[in-house]
Amino acid sequence: MPQPISGRPFALGRTLTSLVLSALLPAQLLPAQAISRTSQPEATPATSTQPLSDQDRRILHLLNRFTFGPTPDEVAEIHSLGPKGIDKWFDLQLHPDRLPLTDDDHTLQARLAEFPSLNLPPDQLIGRFPSNGIIRQAADNKIPAPDDPYLYAIYSHHIQQFKEKQAKKAEEKSDKQAQQPGVAANSAPNMAAGSTMSTPSESQTGESITTAGKEAAPRKELVDNSDRDRARPRYEEVLFHSVVDLPPDKRLQRILYMPTAEFEQLNRGLKPPQRLQLTEGFNPEQRELFADLENPTRAVIFELQAQRLYREIYSSHQLQEVMTAFWLNHFNIYLHKNDETPYYLTSFERDVIRPRALGNFEDLLVATAESPAMLLYLDNSSSTGPDSKVAERQKERQAEGIAKKNTPPGLNENYGRELMELHTLGVNGGYTQKDVTEVSKILTGWTVDHPQLGGDTTFDENRHEPGTKIVMGHKFKEDGMKEGLKLLHMLATSPATAHFISSELAIAFVSDNPPQTLVDRMAKSFESHDGNIAEVLKTLIHSPEFWAPAAYQAKVKTPLEYVVSAVRASNAQVTNPQPLINWLNQLGMPLYACIPPTGYSDKANEWVSTGELVTRMNFALSLANNKLNGITTQWPSTTDEAPDQSANQSIESLQAKLIPTGVSEKTRAAVLTEVEGQSPSPSQITPQSATPKPKNYNPAAAQQQAQQQQQAQIAALLLGSPEFQRR
Amino acid sequence: MNTTRRFFLRNGALALAGTTALPAFLTRAVMAATMEATAQGKKLVVIFQRGAADGLNIVVPWREPNYYTMRPTIAIPQKQVIDLDGFFGLHPAMASFQPLFAQGHLAIVHATGSPDHTRSHFDAQDYMESGTPGIKSTTDGWLNRALQAEDLRRAKLREAALQSSPFRAIALSPDVPRTLAGKVPALALSNVQDFAVGGRGPKPAPAATAFEAMYDESSDSLLHSAGDTSFEAIKMLRATDPAHYSPTPDANYPDSPFAKNMKQVAQLLKANLGVEAAFTDVTGWDTHQNQGGAEGQLANRLRDFSDSIAAFWRDMGPESENITLVTMSEFGRTARQNGTGGTDHGHANAMFILGGNVRGGKVYGKWPGVADEQLNEGRDLAITTDYRQVLGEVVSKTIGAQNLDLTFPGARLNSRQFLGIV
């Protein structure tokens, strides 16, 4: 049984003391604000201040750390599990496959069903949503066009766009060359590679594109909206009306088979409501095809980001999602490393990280090391042994004067270094630059087969550095790919790794500067359980340091935690997560887009900055006031629950839902002042207003609307408050 | 983060200016007077060209025969180069830099860069911005440490600590960039006009007032201080009436995201908000394919780049005297053009330094040559000047960051090795 957080409830009168103290002490040494309300949502509107029970505080602490923000349902669930509810809940979360599906899980399943392609392996995903590289190769006839007629149309469209861009550039080039005569254009296409792969469908592609290219110019004239004839409707309007009333399948077909120039004109001219009309009634496959036609890579990135947010918001497997986010950040991969990364990231999260998030560390480490995503991101795929067969051959060719490149391929130490510094031992893990080089040699040959085509990891014997390597005193005899596996075993089982991972977990779940005793205990558990992550987490929640007052509310939310917890606390219905994705960009934590391999910081000083808080407040205002397209919050109308509820009571009941750990008296007072001063109270909505009322004026409806606005405003202020920044 | 960064005017003139409707001219006067007493007046603007700009086609070594051999279709023809000194010349799209160079405001350092050999954009940018090439564990950025060094120097001289404005270090970006990350608080904003809570407007939105009260009186010291500074910044900015700002009439900014950022940097600098260091970046330099020569992709990029900076310079008017602007990019590009009419990732590059006290009109640095045997790894312009040498000189002679070991740990910079640019 975890030790209780020793409750040190502050009486209202002691707020002054806490203010003085906070000026002298770092915030995390203080227990949370004391003005607390009951967390139970069904409680009657509290009129008196009830401090949280110790059990309430423990439950909220647990949920604040191991979920993306507590919801009333989870609090109630743990209460219902009895006196050992906390342990029982945690054990259930450690085995997500045993958890029964909740309503939210069903919502999640419905949302994920919107993205049928999410389950494809990288090579199929990249064929289904062609990357720039695929389009380039298809345009050069190096890969065949797909057989599927719809995909064929999508390819043709993107190939033509690509060729038009090329032609435009060539034009610029020839203009330039006119000024500099005598220089031969270096544009003869190399057909040799492509012709060996030639298939009937490929030559067909080539033909259709040539035809399309020839037709492009006159078509452009056809669609030109010159202002000679203003009375005529704009051509994109004509196009829009020619398709919008068709049944969905016919409509999609018509759009897909539009000549490229027409589709571009239509797409550019669409107003947001028209865009919705154009895709109305589409099934998920049809929506994906439409997105594919617009921008394939963007479609893949959107689905990747959207599924992640949907899971974090709705999944009842919260611990698994929290740990998935933790490991995705630990094994960070930058989305825009190259054209192919988004396609590999989908699989990296789905096949490598999420299934192992609560499993065994070595298993996870090996899976990341073997993933094409990591091999490409940290350049190991291009690392070559300086004495490998490939390098030797290159040196010979150079000696004979055949080789074009002056430098033979060699080692790339990027992955070798980060593997030790960031993934296992930590920066002070006792390795030297020599060890980095040796590790890099061991890992030569771990590469990716045709990354442009979404290929899988492969071991290339010819690029592997021969001979014995020595890492931190351990000898690794020549053994091909097995050398790497032995190395990973050594790193995964090193005491430095146990310590480094434990420290990262303690920072994520306890405080920015976790007690050394706790980290040591977790590291011991890591070693004695062979890197079993679930066991380390169990050790964590059974440690007194986790339940100490110093840890309570000690963490400041990262932008991701802030945004997702605000959506969860508001019980918002999300049908389009794009606005959340955009807000995360603005908050400086774009999903999958941390450039350095370090991942995002888990510490407050990185996120609490001037400017950042302004953006958080603006997010709270947008969310609570339903300004985000596709995200709906519904604040209880006061007339539903208690018709005569005062502003004060509204604040109390919303605070109990949104910030069950409580807010300070100052925060409450600021909300109250704002609500009483700005929004009209129900009694103020009287007919004496100067503006004439519409005929169908309904005083009751107007009053309800005013009340809901007031509720939204209270919610916005609470979600933007200092208290909601902590967890 | 600590509470000393709270702006000194909190309970003084500015608080007055923020809460009552003082006319804008009076507000500016109040602020100018108080600022003058404290600020040294030197301001540093840093521009990062993300994606690795092709230095050899920007500052062209047009006397090098091998330059033309290695770049048969993308070299800038001698006739079109804007000659600077009989050996180097500017890309023809950068005509707006020519007068700045001729007037002695613009200096160039060629064959400079980061000594680390990485050819990875993200590593190289990271190293460049952290100021510690090859070391990944550095958590802060060089410009932030330069500001720390300035604080230290003042403390040592027992000068009054520079009263810190929330605008002391600013970045025109959604988040604080690596270059400015660190102990000294930096303010990131992507749009000056939108920097407000609950919408812009001459008066604070009601929600903003409520939030301000919450953060102002919060006992959570961390959030209290960041929140307070945010509201200070918003108030200070509102007092300058940003909605009615217009640049100097003869500052012809192009219509581009970079020009927009430069315009806003000028706006913030001119508003006397206490800006000491400003950062912005410009992308689109990764020209692997069809980069063009005198015209084309790179030319368009350079036109925007140089026209925006020249417009900024004119916009600053007499205040340009106190400005030092420096540009950098993570690495240069290969000396030879590749098979697709572009260039691949290389090594050394050129930096521009523009300013009132810059000894311009000169191309600095030792020229390593571009003959085949002179190239780095047989493929790129070699580095003869560590970029930290250039930045070290700039920060020590402008914002007074003289502790070079603090700003660039491990670089072993020595002021005797400075090139004498500033």
Average pLDDT over residues B299-314: 97
Within 8 A by CB and 6+ apart from A286, the residues are A248, A249, A252, A279
Q: How many helices (H) and strands (E) does chain A have?
A: 36, 6
Q: Which of B206, B214, B378 sits opposite A407 (nearest CB)?
A: B378
| Residues A146 and A127 sit within 8 Å (Cβ to Cβ) | yes
| pLDDT over 70 (residue A216) | no
Would you call B226 and A407 a contact, using CB atoms and an 8 Å cutoff?
no
Q: pLDDT grade, residue A641 (50/70/90)?
A: low
What tens digit of pLDDT does each residue of A84-108 get? 999 999 999 999 998 999 999 999 9
Q: pLDDT grade, residue A187 (50/70/90)?
A: very low
Going along B50-120, which residue ranges are E strands? 59-61, 82-83, 88-90, 106-113
Domain annotation covers residue B226: no
Q: How many helices (H) and strands (E) does chain B have?
A: 13, 12
Range of B79's domain? 39-202+241-417
Q: Which of B80, B166, B295 sits opposite A610 (nearest CB)?
A: B166
What letters, b where the CB count within 10 A reaches 16 and e where it falls short, cover A233-270? eebbeebbeebeeeeeeebbbebbebbbbbbbbbbeeb
A726 in B contact zone (CB under 8 Å): yes
Q: What is the pLDDT of residue A410?
A: 77
Kind and range of the H or E run holding A470: strand A469-471
What tens digit of pLDDT does each residue of A676-721 get? 886 554 444 444 455 566 677 788 888 888 888 899 999 999 999 9
| pLDDT over 60 (residue B252) | yes
* Nearest CA among B243, B154, B153 for reference residue B195: B243
What tens digit of pLDDT does each residue of B79-116 get? 999 999 999 999 999 999 999 999 999 999 999 999 99
**DSSP of A106-118:** HHHHHHHTT-GGG
| Residues B174 and A612 sit within 8 Å (Cβ to Cβ) | no
The C-alpha atoms of residue B191 and residue B172 are separated, in whole angstroms, by 7
| Residues A1 and A88 sit within 8 Å (Cβ to Cβ) | no
Better-predicted residue by pLDDT, B170 or A233: B170
A250-259, A613-622, B187-196, B388-397: range with lowest mean pLDDT: B187-196
- Shortest CA gap B104–chain A (Å): 32
Strand partners of residue B170: B187, B278
Q: Which of B3, B196, B219 sits opposite A664 (nearest CB)?
A: B219
Domain annotation covers residue B3: no
Pairing of strands B43-49, B323-329: parallel
Pairing of strands B43-49, A446-448: unpaired
Q: pLDDT grade, residue A218 (50/70/90)?
A: very low
Would you call A667 and B214 a contact, using CB atoms and an 8 Å cutoff?
yes
- A residues 249-288 lying closer than 8 A (beta carbon) to B: none
- Shortest CA gap B357–chain A (Å): 32
Contacts of residue A609 in chain B, CB cutoff 8 Å? Answer: 176, 185-188, 226
| Residues A21 and B216 sit within 8 Å (Cβ to Cβ) | no
The C-alpha atoms of residue A473 and residue A482 are separated, in whole angstroms, by 18
Q: Which of B73, B206, B294 sits opposite A183 (nearest CB)?
A: B73
- A residues 388-427 lying closer than 8 A (beta carbon) to B: 406-407, 414, 417-418, 421-422, 427
Would you call A610 and B217 a contact, using CB atoms and an 8 Å cutoff?
no
Work out the burial of residue B415: count CB atoms within 10 Å of its CB; fewer than 13 is exposed, 13-18 middle, 19 or more buried.
exposed
What letters, b where the CB count within 10 A reaches 16 and e where it falls short, cover B253-269? bbebebbbbbbbbbbbb
Q: pLDDT grade, residue A370 (50/70/90)?
A: very high
Better-predicted residue by pLDDT, A515 or A83: A515
| Residues A659 and A721 sit within 8 Å (Cβ to Cβ) | yes
Q: Which of B136, B211, B229 sits opposite A720 (nearest CB)?
A: B211
Q: pLDDT grade, residue A26 (50/70/90)?
A: very low
Q: What is the pLDDT of residue A706?
A: 84
Domain annotation covers residue B209: no
Q: What is the pLDDT of residue A27?
A: 35
Domain annotation covers residue B71: yes
What letters, b where the CB count within 10 A reaches 16 and e where it falls short, cover B157-169? eeeeebbbbbbbb
The C-alpha atoms of residue A526 and residue A501 are separated, in whole angstroms, by 9
- Shortest CA gap A19–chain B (Å): 5
Strand partners of residue B326: B46, B353
Q: What three-state secondary structure class fits A251?
A: helix
* Nearest CA among A191, A501, A210, A560 for reference residue A360: A501
The C-alpha atoms of residue A342 and residue B233 are separated, in whole angstroms, by 38
**DSSP of A139-190:** HTTSSPPPSSHHHHHHHHHHHHHHHHHHHHHHHHHHHHHHHSTTPPP-----
Would you call A172 and B296 a contact, using CB atoms and an 8 Å cutoff?
yes
A92 in B contact zone (CB under 8 Å): no
What distance lies between CA B9 and its chain's CA centroid?
A: 27
Q: Per the structure block, which two tokens stand in for A92?
A: 């259930």
Work out the burial of residue A404: count CB atoms within 10 Å of its CB; fewer than 13 is exposed, 13-18 middle, 19 or more buried.
exposed
| pLDDT over 50 (residue A20) | no
Work out the burial of residue B244: count CB atoms within 10 Å of its CB; fewer than 13 is exposed, 13-18 middle, 19 or more buried.
exposed
Report how many domains make up chain B. 1
Percent of the residues in chain A that have a pLDDT greater than 70, as a whole number: 81
The C-alpha atoms of residue A19 and residue A640 are separated, in whole angstroms, by 38
| CATH number reported for the structural domain that contains residue B377 in this entry | 3.40.720
Tell me how far apart the terminal alpha carbons of chain A are, to the nearest angstrom: 22
Q: What is the pLDDT of residue B23?
A: 41
| Residues B348 and B380 sit within 8 Å (Cβ to Cβ) | yes
The C-alpha atoms of residue A425 and residue A65 are separated, in whole angstroms, by 25
Substitution target in B48, B138, B209, B222 with the highest count of A β-carbons within 10 Å is: B222
Q: Per the structure block, which two tokens stand in for A216?
A: 């492009």
Q: For A81, which DSSP code?
A: T
Q: What is the pLDDT of residue A638?
A: 56
ipTM: 0.80
With tokens 């490149």, the residue in question is A405
Q: What three-state secondary structure class fits B324?
A: strand
The C-alpha atoms of residue B42 and residue B53 are separated, in whole angstroms, by 28
Domain annotation covers residue B198: yes
Percent of the residues in chain B that have a pLDDT greater than 90, as a whole number: 61
Contacts of residue A666 in chain B, CB cutoff 8 Å? Answer: 213-214, 217-219
| pLDDT over 60 (residue A274) | yes
| Residues A30 and A21 sit within 8 Å (Cβ to Cβ) | yes
Q: Per the structure block, which two tokens stand in for B87?
A: 């050996």
The C-alpha atoms of residue A117 and residue A125 are separated, in whole angstroms, by 7
What tens digit of pLDDT does each residue of A421-466 get? 899 999 889 988 789 889 999 999 999 999 999 999 999 999 999 9
What tens digit of pLDDT does each residue of B224-246 get? 988 888 888 998 998 888 888 89
What tens digit of pLDDT does each residue of B143-172 get? 999 999 998 888 887 666 556 788 999 999
Better-predicted residue by pLDDT, B300 or A273: B300
Q: What is the pLDDT of residue A696?
A: 74
Q: pLDDT grade, residue B342 (50/70/90)?
A: confident
Q: How many CB pairs under 8 A join A and B?
A: 188
Q: What is the pLDDT of residue A34?
A: 34
| pLDDT over 80 (residue B402) | yes
Work out the burial of residue A79: count CB atoms within 10 Å of its CB; fewer than 13 is exposed, 13-18 middle, 19 or more buried.
middle
Strand partners of residue A532: A360
- Shortest CA gap B299–chain A (Å): 11
Domain annotation covers residue B5: no
What letters, b where the CB count within 10 A reaches 16 and e where it falls short, cover B216-238? ebbbbbbbbbbbbbbbbbbbbbb
Better-predicted residue by pLDDT, A208 or A623: A623
- Shortest CA gap B116–chain A (Å): 12
CB count within 10 Å of CB A6 equals 12
Report in angstroms the alpha-carbon separations of B398 from A592, A717, B33: 38, 43, 21
Better-predicted residue by pLDDT, A229 or B332: B332
A27 in B contact zone (CB under 8 Å): yes
| pLDDT over 90 (residue A537) | yes
Q: Per the structure block, which two tokens stand in for A551?
A: 């840890």
Domain annotation covers residue B235: no
Domain annotation covers residue B23: no
